[in-house]
Structure 1
């Protein structure tokens, strides 16, 4: 039987090309903001890359997913050891909201919103303008797996092997998200 917390962990389509996913994390809000904006902390769950905290500032994400967990799990053949992407900050309201461009020609957008609730912080990610189903499935399983690593790190727990988790989630999102 699947509990409500497990169901809530999955991303959902809130518009045809828009994925929304959220996590409850231990606060305070400034701590989770640091995990979003500071390269040394962000690389522990998502991607490295220094950010100048101003609207319009470009930055580069550098993913090295093999380094997120020990062991990393089995990396899919189509994935590389490192992936880079240039983004740009389009909205900034520390420590509550960060919006960045995503992908080639800044076609996509990702908004991170933090809302304190007691001793926890609700992090909501809205990934807009996902161009096609294949990318949607990769983005959905990617955000889900990366957020699970963040949640484990924020709680002082050991996350499960990243690639094994991502691969399992990719198969699950194949059935969860409409074709």
Structure 2
């Protein structure tokens, strides 16, 4: 997988020095700042394997567990980034999917140097599309 060697070495070194590598106790994350995007979440990093994996919670204290897993893999000269999120059974799946779609759009824009506000209209349209799609998925 293409990576900037210095960055992955620095992360690997940092995690070793602080005892935050795989199999050790969870570590609080520094919050990302996306203004106007919703509630801040106090994430806890639960697994790190630079540069291919980071797993953390997507829950604040007192909330149900929502494990979040990012995996990077080399694919055809590029990198495929996979996101897996588990949510409690009673949560609105369509809302969660639409929210992640909107936040990933914000992340892509920020990476291009043109940050955007939360795309609320796109979120609402995506939420309705997921609501229409979900009954067919649940039937199997």
TM-score range, shorter chain: 0.5 to 0.7
Residue of structure 2 aligned with 1:139, choices 91, 96, 100: 96
Instruction: Please say if 1:112 is aligned against 2:70.
Output: yes
- Against the structure 1 CA distance between its residues 61 and 169, is the aligned structure 2 distance closer, same or farther, given a 3 Å change threshold? farther
Q: Which residue of 2 aligns with 1:90?
A: 46
Counterpart CA distance in 1 for 2:19 and 2:128 is 36
Q: With structure 2 as the length reference, what TM-score do the two structures score? A: 0.64
Alignment of 1:26-41 (within 5 A): 28-30=2-4
Q: 1:97 to 1:144 in 2, by over 3 A?
A: same
On the 8 A contact 1:62/1:82 being kept in 2, the answer is no
Q: Structure 1 54/29 Cα, relative in aligned 2: closer, same or farther at 3 Å?
A: same
**Residue 58 (str. 1) matches residue 14 (str. 2):** no
Q: Structure 1 length as normaliser, TM-score?
A: 0.52
Higher strand share: 1
Q: Aligned partners of 1:141 and 1:107: how far apart in 2? A: 19
Assess if the C-alpha contact under 8 Å between 2:102 and 2:118 holds in 1: no
Name the structure 2 match of 1:100. Answer: 56
Cα distance in 1 between the residues matched to 2:64 and 2:44? 8
Contact 1:59 1:86 in 2 (8 A): yes
1:124 aligned residue (65, 82, 87): 82
The answer to whether the 8 Å contact 1:59/1:88 transfers is: yes
- Given that 2:57 and 2:68 are in contact with CA atoms closer than 8 Å, whether structure 1 keeps it comes out as yes
Aligned-residue CA RMSD (Å): 3.4
CA distance in 2, matches of 1:177, 1:100: 26
How far the C-alpha of 1:54 sits from its partner, in A, is: 2.4
Q: Residue 3 of structure 1 corresponds to which residue in structure 2?
A: none
Equivalent position of 1:151 in the other structure: 108
Structure 2 residues without counterparts, runs of 5 or longer: 12-17
